[in-house]
């Protein structure tokens, strides 16, 4: 989000979600829309396969619009550190929205138009976030603590 949509370099590696542009989101969602349109066209209208492709296409379009709104809103709060809650909330929405779309497009990674340098799940918001996470977790990328006990009084009651 530090760059304008026109400044996006298609095959330049994307490292942080803070660097996403509206053009990145548009390119990914348009690619997905074309693939899903092709998929729907291979099945007769009224079939489950056609309905699934059309329905998924609509979900992708809505997610793409929402992510574009977040990316554009980011420009308003990006350097306004006096408002940390909106800044961090937007960062999280953008980060997880991008992950969602990248997971949806991953099935077409072998396609000639697939932009592997940019359409991938990103771990970090920015270089500072990367440094913080790496200092806290080392090379482990997991949501569970490595030496978290598997037994304890709270576990059976937590998830019956």
Give the tens place of pLDDT for each residue, 88-109.
Answer: 888 899 999 999 999 999 999 9
Question: Model's pTM, two decimal places?
Answer: 0.76
Q: What is the mean pLDDT of residues 102-128?
A: 92
Q: What b-and-e string marks burial along 108-129, b requiring 16 or more CB atoms within 10 Å of the CB? A: beeeeebbeebbbebebbeeeb
Higher-confidence position of 156 and 116: 116
Question: Does residue 48 surpass a pLDDT of 70?
Answer: yes
Residue ranges of the domains in the chain? 5-126
For residue 124, the SS3 value is strand
Q: Tell me the C-alpha distance between 119 and 67, whole Å.
A: 14
Out of 34-43, 69-78, 149-158, least confident range: 149-158
d(CA 118, CA 39): 23
β-sheet bridge partners, residue 127:
none
| pLDDT at position 10 | 62
């Amino acid at each position: 989000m530090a760059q304008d949509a026109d400044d996006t370099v298609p095959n330049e590696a994307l490292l942080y979600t803070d660097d996403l542009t509206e053009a990145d989101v548009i390119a990914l969602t348009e690619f997905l829309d074309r693939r899903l349109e092709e998929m729907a066209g291979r099945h007769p209208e009224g079939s489950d396969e056609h309905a699934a492709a059309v329905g998924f296409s609509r979900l992708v379009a809505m997610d793409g619009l929402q992510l574009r709104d977040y990316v554009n809103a980011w420009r308003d709060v990006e350097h306004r550190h006096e408002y940390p809650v909106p800044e961090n909330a937007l960062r999280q929405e953008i980060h997880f929205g991008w992950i969602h779309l990248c997971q949806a497009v991953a099935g077409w990674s072998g396609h000639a138009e697939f932009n592997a340098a940019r359409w991938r799940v990103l771990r970090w918001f920015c270089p500072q976030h990367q440094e913080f996470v790496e200092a806290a977790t080392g090379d482990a990328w997991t949501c569970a603590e490595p030496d978290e006990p598997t037994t304890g009084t709270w576990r059976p009651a937590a998830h019956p």
